[in-house]
DNA sequence: GTCACTAATGACCAAGTGGTCACTACCGAC
DNA sequence: GTCGGTAGTGACCACTTGGTCATTAGTGAC
């Protein structure tokens, strides 16, 4: 394999790259997708720009050219949090199963690290500077969504729920071992629904009370 | 700052190290303690042998001499799992608060990364080969302890509880942000107790049913 | 004392990292 | 056509990593 030696010192026209696509947007998109993949698979610290570049079919120099730094690449690659999928206003009695179904569907269908919670957990131990804003974003989304549905005062219950979600995601997608990892998505929903109902019980009771009082 | 240049080629008797303790056991112990600290703080991948050596007051060469490799050092440094502290047979009615108190006491008093769950979470994203056996050990301990107390069939509930613990530990010791991180240990126990009671309700009911049937 | 044993050192290495930059060649505008 | 702007390249750099090893010096046995 011949290499280009000191292109600065001698012209080497035979040292052409194998192909050029020359499509900045497509390159950016390919790099971002590869970055999501690699960050989710390996965490921030162990992910390398070269591996991301390799999967995107470009050189690591181009990654730097487009994103400037590894950190900036992570920030742009992070999927938006959607941990509170399924939490929409509606009948409070069916809220727990909607939450459970939405959560399970989210973490099971996301595939290769698209889910914010998975990315969060995977990158957390590698880099706290990454974990903290990420966790804050996820938790803020959960607590705000729940506040909209259950009213103020539900934040701690939403936080506990978020913790349960993070733990379950960890069990199924990071550790991938143990009883929770063995369950089918349907079974998982079945076990989670009463647990969520129990966790949210005080907040739901409070919300129902508030609604009745208003009427 | 003069450096020892090529000690192999020229004798440099003036290049003596500042101190020598010459106590292999003490050195090993100091290295192991420093390793637990650094692994817990930074995760496996971002922990460096040099940092561990620095905190232990030795050179990184000595760490290699004693443990051979970073991986071996991790294996020897890992604290035993004790995630199920507080789960002992007794009155089933008070089990949830004993579990909550034991768990919170464990993660709050452990300080610098002594707790297995903290170490687990911190090293997980960096290295799955580390995370999987660690998680398996923690979960096995939790499920077996609960099986002894609540009988067979409680495994999934114990697994869910383990997930909640991992998530809460994550919130308080990794992310260190959000509503759960703000609570005092006492408040945390207060919120966790009913949540744990709710999570375990089916298993406790089953256990009480079994006990009554036996009588 | 002195001497063998070995704990401890620190210079060194190869590999791999994020980041830089001089250069190359594609493409659309004219 | 040709030409300027720029997408893309790859050699290079400084630095850090885990790991090696020749050398140095405490220490206990004698």
From the Cβ of B45, is strand C under 7 Å away?
no
CA distance B40 to B152: 33
Which pTM was predicted? Answer: 0.61
Closest CA to A145 of A158, A161, A133: A158
**pLDDT over 90 for what percent of chain B?**
16
- Start-to-end CA distance of chain A, whole Å, equals 79
Q: Which residue in chain A is spatially nearest to B193 when comparing CA positions?
A: A199
Long-range CB contact pairs, A27-35, < 8 A, 24+: A27/A56, A27/A58, A27/A62, A27/A66, A28/A66, A30/A56, A30/A57, A30/A58, A31/A56, A31/A58, A31/A62, A31/A63, A31/A66, A31/A67, A31/A73, A32/A73, A32/A76, A32/A77, A35/A73, A35/A74, A35/A77
Q: Which of B139, B192, B199 sits opposite A198 (nearest CB)?
A: B199
**Position of tokens 């129902």?**
A208
- For residue A206, is it left (φ>0), alpha (ψ between -120 and 50) or beta? alpha
Q: What is the CA radius of gyration of chain A?
A: 22
Whether B116 contacts B82, CB under 8 Å: yes
DSSP-derived letter for residue A110 is: S
Would you say residue B102 has pLDDT above 50? Answer: yes
pLDDT at residue B11, rounded to an integer? 37
CA distance B82 to B66: 27
CB-based burial label for B125 (10 Å; 0-12, 13-18, 19+): buried
**Position of tokens 């009615």?**
B93
Half-sphere exposure of A80 (CA within 13 A, CB side): 4
pLDDT at residue A112, rounded to an integer? 42
CA distance B98 to B91: 10
Residue range A141-194, pLDDT digits in tens: 677 777 777 888 888 888 888 888 878 877 787 667 778 888 999 999 999 998
**pLDDT over 70 for what percent of chain A?**
65
Would you say residue A115 has pLDDT above 60? Answer: no
Q: How many residues does chain A have?
A: 215
Cα B213–chain centre separation: 39
Enumerate the nucleotides of strand C whose atoms come under 7 Å of any protein CB: 6-12, 16-27
CB pair distance less than 8 Å for A175 and B132: yes
Whether B78 contacts B134, CB under 8 Å: yes
Cα B195–chain centre separation: 23
Phi/psi of residue B89, each to 5°? Answer: -60, 155
Task: Check if A94 contacts B (Cβ < 8 Å).
Answer: no
**Position of tokens 């629904």?**
A193
Task: Check if A153 contacts B (Cβ < 8 Å).
Answer: no
Confidence tier at A12 by pLDDT (50, 70, 90): very low
Q: Which of A132, A155, A165 sits opposite B175 (nearest CB)?
A: A132
Whether A135 contacts A124, CB under 8 Å: yes
Neighbours of A152 (CB within 10 A): 9
Whether B58 contacts B47, CB under 8 Å: no
ipTM greater than 0.95? no
Q: What is the average per-residue pLDDT within A92-105?
A: 82
**Strand, helix or coil at A104?**
helix
Whether B38 contacts B51, CB under 8 Å: yes
Residue range A35-83, pLDDT digits in tens: 888 877 777 777 899 999 999 999 999 999 999 988 788 777 765 444 4
Q: Which of B125, B163, B195 sits opposite A167 (nearest CB)?
A: B163
pLDDT at residue B133, rounded to an integer? 57
- In Å, what is the separation between the CA of A214 and the C1' of D5? 65
Task: Check if A160 contacts B (Cβ < 8 Å).
Answer: yes
Residue range B127-136, pLDDT digits in tens: 555 555 566 6
Phi/psi of residue A20, each to 5°? Answer: -135, 130
Would you say residue B62 has pLDDT above 90? Answer: yes
Q: What is the average per-residue pLDDT within B161-178?
A: 78
DSSP-derived letter for residue A108 is: H
**pLDDT over 90 for what percent of chain A?**
16
CA distances from B164 to A35, B33, B83, B168, B192 (A): 30, 28, 12, 6, 9
Q: What is the average per-residue pLDDT within B136-143?
A: 70
Confidence tier at A31 by pLDDT (50, 70, 90): very high
CA distance B42 to B169: 15
CA distance B80 to B99: 18
Would you say residue A85 has pLDDT above 90? Answer: no
Would you say residue B65 has pLDDT above 90? Answer: yes
Of residues A215 and B5, the one with the higher pLDDT is: A215
**Position of tokens 């009883």?**
A179
């Amino acid at each position: 394999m011949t290499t280009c030696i000191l292109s600065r010192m001698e012209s080497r026209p035979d040292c052409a790259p194998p192909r050029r696509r020359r499509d900045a947007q497509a390159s950016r998109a390919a790099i971002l997708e590869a970055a999501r993949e690699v960050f989710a698979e390996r965490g921030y610290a162990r992910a390398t720009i070269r591996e991301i570049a390799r999967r995107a079919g470009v050189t690591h120099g181009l990654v730097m050219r487009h994103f400037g730094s590894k950190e900036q690449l992570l920030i742009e690659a992070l999927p938006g949090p959607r941990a509170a999928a399924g939490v929409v206003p509606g009948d409070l009695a069916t809220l727990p199963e909607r939450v459970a179904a939405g959560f399970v569907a989210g973490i099971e269908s996301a595939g290769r690290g698209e889910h914010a919670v998975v990315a969060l957990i995977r990158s957390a131990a590698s880099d706290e500077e990454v974990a903290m804003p990420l966790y804050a974003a996820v938790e803020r989304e959960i607590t705000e969504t729940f506040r909209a549905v259950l009213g103020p005062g539900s934040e701690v219950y939403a936080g506990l729920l978020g913790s349960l979600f993070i733990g379950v995601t960890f069990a199924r997608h990071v550790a991938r071992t143990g009883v929770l990892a063995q369950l089918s998505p349907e079974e998982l929903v079945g076990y989670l629904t009463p647990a969520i109902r129990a966790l949210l019980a005080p907040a739901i009771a409070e919300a129902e009370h508030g609604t009745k009082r208003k009427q």
